[in-house]
Amino acid sequence: MGSFNTGSTAGTATTSMAQGAASCSAGAQWFVSIQDGKQMLDNGVIRTVEGEDTLAIIELNAGQANIRAEIAVPTSVIGPPTSVAVTPDGMLAIVTSGYKRDPADPTKTVENDVVSVVDLQGQTPRIVNTVKVGKAPCGVSVSPDGKLALVANHNDGTVSVLSINGNRVTAIDQVTVGDAKSGPMHAVFTPDGKRALVTRDGDHRVTLLAVDGEKVAATQRHIFPGQRPDCIDVRPQGDLAVVANIGKGQGDSDTLSLIDLSVEPPRVVDTVSVGQTPEGVFFSPDGCHVGATVMNGSNKPKDSPFYNPNGKFVLLKVSGKKLLPVASAPIGTWSQGLAFSADGSTVLVQNTAEQQIQVFRIGNEQLEDNGQRLQLKGVPVAMRLIHSDFRGKC
């Protein structure tokens, strides 16, 4: 891929993103982070503010992270931290925007139905296409072969199916998975591309989808991991999925659940408590660990008995079909997404209220804050490693 024109203050990124991110031991790795400029947390209340939604490109090199470009792209903080996905070749980012600023009253937001397609190949990222989908699109994922994308539409009980051909992305179907109150949050493919899993926070279940070429259909298999399943990820090996159950926001300790995909029918095999409101949960690229951003009460009003001044990042080990917490560290407040480096030695965490990205080194299942705080133009809401072919053994 080409370099980014970053202006006089940021320098020029000369390493190919696709090549850098595919390397596990040397060279730059690249991440995409999206930011909402419309909303901010104010003492436990989300308020509309002045600002602009953006997409940022982040370079990680020798353990140091830098923002290399940031452009205007519509998005929203409402929903799971999976509102951006990247094609396997690292050429396109697909960004959902569930809510927009109300044209009639800029102090309010209203439901949206837009997905933006961003070309990552040129000197500067640019929007090359927009696609209309369902009501309040949230999580998005791309199939392993890069030919399809699935978008969970939270407010109408559907999943939109998008066809990808080069940088041309078109909506080809809309699959009903539940009623309008079922609340689809995120849809993720399995590595073989033959199935997908959709979280539904409205009726507390995960629905299995069957995928055959461009045909996607809801099955009758529903899995019930916990209260309000939200973010979901599938292990690179394809045998397990992990889901964050964000709960009711009443101060209870919420959970992560492990779903066994190697058996028929798939089922929950383990659930662990991690604290209040686990927002983002993802496997490391080698599938050996899981990382979770936990709000930990940091999104509560300061006079709440459940308030905590810090969120926390939790690192868990995958041991057979169990999740074992091995380390945790304090992070910022109202935290959303996270992304591991290709070799799993570094993790980037979005501290949303601070409009920052925090960087941790991982060694011997210990976390070390390297002191970096990348300042962004809006509140960071989702993040992805642009490309990784790394697969390891635990």
Residue 260: strand pairing partners: 240, 267
Please give the average per-residue pLDDT across 19-29, as a whole number. Answer: 52
Residue 359: strand pairing partners: 348
296 pLDDT band (50/70/90 cuts)? Answer: very high
pLDDT at site 388: 52
CA distance 277 to 388: 28
Please give the average per-residue pLDDT across 31-39, as a whole number. Answer: 97
Q: Give percent of the chain with pLDDT exceeding 70.
A: 92
Integer angstrom CA distances of residue 232 from 41, 225, 228, 344, 362: 24, 11, 12, 19, 22
pLDDT at site 18: 40
Does residue 27 carry a pLDDT above 80? no
Please give the average per-residue pLDDT across 66-92, as a whole number. Answer: 96
Q: Which fold has domain 4-385?
A: Methylamine Dehydrogenase; Chain H (2.130.10)
3 pLDDT band (50/70/90 cuts)? Answer: very low
In the chain the first and final C-alpha atoms are separated, in Å, by 32
262 pLDDT band (50/70/90 cuts)? Answer: very high
pLDDT at site 386: 92
Question: Minimal CA–CA distance to 87: which of 383, 342, 387?
Answer: 387
pLDDT at site 2: 34
DSSP assignment of 82-134 equals --EEE-TTS-EEEEEEEEEEETTEEEEEEEEEEEEEEE-SSSS-EEEEEEE-S
Quick: pLDDT tens for 199-240: 999 999 999 999 999 999 999 999 999 999 999 999 999 999
Name the amino acid, one letter, at 345: S
Question: Minimal CA–CA distance to 311: which of 287, 338, 290?
Answer: 338
Does residue 1 carry a pLDDT above 50? no
Is residue 115 within 8 A of residue 76, CB to CB? The reply is no
Does residue 9 carry a pLDDT above 60? no
Residue 312: strand pairing partners: 294, 330
Quick: pLDDT tens for 146-203: 999 999 999 999 999 999 999 999 999 999 999 999 999 999 999 999 999 999 999 9
Q: Based on the number of CB atoms within 10 Å of its own CB, is 181 exposed (0-12), middle (13-18) or buried (19 or more)?
A: exposed
Quick: pLDDT tens for 312-335: 999 999 999 999 999 999 999 999
Does residue 279 carry a pLDDT above 70? yes
Does residue 254 carry a pLDDT above 80? yes
Find the DSSP H helices in the chain: 7-10, 17-22
Asked if the bond preceding 265 is cis, omega within 30° of 0, the reply is: yes
- Count of CB atoms situated within 10 Å of the CB of 139: 30
Q: Which residues of 349-370 are buried (b: 16+ CB within 10 A; e: fewer)?
A: bbbbbbbbbbbbebeeeebeee
Does residue 303 carry a pLDDT above 70? yes
SS3 content of the chain, % helix, strand, coil (to 5): 5, 55, 40
CA distance 54 to 338: 17
The better pLDDT of the pair 146, 121 is held by 146
| Assigned token pair, 195 | 């199935």
Name the amino acid, one letter, at 230: D
Mean pLDDT score of the chain: 92
Give the start-to-end residue ranges of the domains of the chain: 4-385
Instruction: Return phi, psi of residue 325, to 5°.
Output: -60, 130
Q: What does the angle CA 133 – CA 137 – CA 138 come to, to the nearest 5 degrees?
A: 150
